[in-house]
């Protein structure tokens, strides 16, 4: 078993991850400027990947491997590497919001989380189209482009906009019922096609809340730390086999958390 990193070693990982997400952002932005030239493959209904997703993930994975050879890696496109016995797992989504990206819309981002012994220690999310960089380190707060952020001050569903995450992994009627409950509770819905970016919008108060019946760990781990370090609340996502199989997600200000969680209850 490899020893867990101390705080100094976690701080070093943040420096390296910042450098890599900036490089990854430049690569992804170049691909976005020339979408028509990308080879696109279908992974399932409404679930695409392009060579941009793979290239960006490879850049991040190789950079982390070079800096921290004993750390494990789990990415949306290339899967898991060296998970057994690893003290540190990097969880990466190279382009979250692939459908918006391939459609020429700006709601996509890059997400990097660093997990140590089941605890999220670092979360970084970069939106290349808007140059928004969200960063959180456990115990040190969350920032957007270097400035501290807070969630929405609302106290009820009626006080702001709630994003409903949805993928074809979930039967359609499930999300229709969630929408019904949101409207009955005085809320308003939103979906931009990137769970990660929407969760970051919750962290900085642009959105009131976010709920999704099933989301993968690479889509939300970095953003979960960004929300909780900003003072917001999420469910305990990393229970059971959620790292590998995903889980539901509920996120928002503490005052509205119970109302948001109830949206996912039949």
75 is an interface residue for ligand IPD by CB under 6 A: no
Give the C-alpha separation, 259 to 68, whole Å.
Answer: 42
For ligand IPD, the closer of residues 157 and 200 by Cβ is: 200
Q: How far is the CB of 218 from Ca ion (least distance, A)?
A: 6
Q: Tokens standing for 243?
A: 């790292």
Part in contact with ligand IPD (CB under 6 A); list of ranges 33-41, 165-173, 175-183, 225-233:
165-173
134 is an interface residue for ligand IPD by CB under 6 A: no
Give the C-alpha separation, 63 to 65, whole Å.
Answer: 5
Phi, psi of 232 (to 5 degrees): -90, 180
In terms of DSSP H, where are the helices of 185-215? 195-203
Q: Are 164 and 191 in contact (CB under 8 A)?
A: yes
Q: Are 167 and 180 in contact (CB under 8 A)?
A: no
Using DSSP's 3-state secondary structure scheme, residue 199 falls into helix
Please choose which of Ca ion, ligand IPD, none residue 142 contacts, taking the beta carbon within 5 to 8 angstroms, the exact cut-off set by kind: none
Q: Tokens standing for 221?
A: 């781990």
Q: How far is the CB of 27 from ligand IPD (least distance, A)?
A: 16
Which of 5, 75, 160, 165: binder of ligand IPD (CB under 6 A)? 165
Number of residues that bind ligand IPD (CB under 6 A): 18
Q: How far is the CB of 180 from ligand IPD (least distance, A)?
A: 18
Residue nearest to ligand IPD (CB): 195
Q: Left, alpha or beta for 168 (phi > 0: left; psi -120 to 50: alpha)?
A: alpha
33: CB partners within 8 A, 6+ apart: none
53 is an interface residue for Ca ion by CB under 5 A: no
Footprint on residues 206-265 left by Ca ion (CB under 5 A): 219
215 is an interface residue for ligand IPD by CB under 6 A: yes
94 is an interface residue for ligand IPD by CB under 6 A: no
Footprint on residues 183-212 left by ligand IPD (CB under 6 A): 193-196, 212
Q: Are 132 and 179 in contact (CB under 8 A)?
A: no
For ligand IPD, the closer of residues 121 and 219 by Cβ is: 219
57 is an interface residue for ligand IPD by CB under 6 A: no
């Amino acid at each position: 078993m490899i020893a867990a990193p101390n705080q100094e070693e976690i701080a070093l990982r943040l420096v390296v991850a910042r450098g890599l997400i900036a490089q990854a952002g430049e690569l992804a932005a170049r691909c976005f400027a020339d979408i028509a030239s990308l080879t696109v493959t279908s992974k399932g209904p409404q679930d695409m990947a392009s060579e941009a997703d793979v290239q960006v993930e490879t850049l991040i994975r190789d950079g982390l491997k070079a800096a921290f050879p004993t750390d494990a890696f789990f990415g949306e496109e290339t899967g898991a590497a060296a998970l057994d016995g690893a003290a540190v797992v990097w969880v990466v989504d190279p382009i979250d919001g692939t459908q918006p990206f391939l459609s020429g819309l700006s709601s996509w981002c890059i997400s990097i989380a660093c997990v140590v012994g089941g605890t999220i220690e670092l979360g970084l999310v970069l939106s290349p189209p808007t140059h928004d960089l969200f960063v959180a380190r456990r115990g040190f707060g969350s920032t957007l482009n270097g400035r501290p952020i807070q969630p929405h001050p609302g106290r009820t569903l009626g006080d702001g906009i709630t994003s409903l995450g949805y993928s074809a992994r979930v039967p359609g009627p499930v999300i229709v019922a969630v929408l019904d409950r949101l409207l009955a509770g005085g809320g308003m819905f939103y979906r931009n096609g990137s769970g990660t970016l929407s969760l970051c919008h919750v962290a900085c108060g642009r959105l009131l809340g976010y709920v999704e019946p099933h989301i993968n760990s690479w889509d939300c781990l970095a953003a979960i730390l960004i929300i909780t370090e900003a003072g917001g609340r999420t469910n305990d996502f990393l229970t059971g086999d959620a790292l590998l199989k995903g889980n539901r997600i509920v996120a928002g200000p503490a005052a509205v958390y119970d109302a948001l969680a109830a949206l996912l209850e039949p």
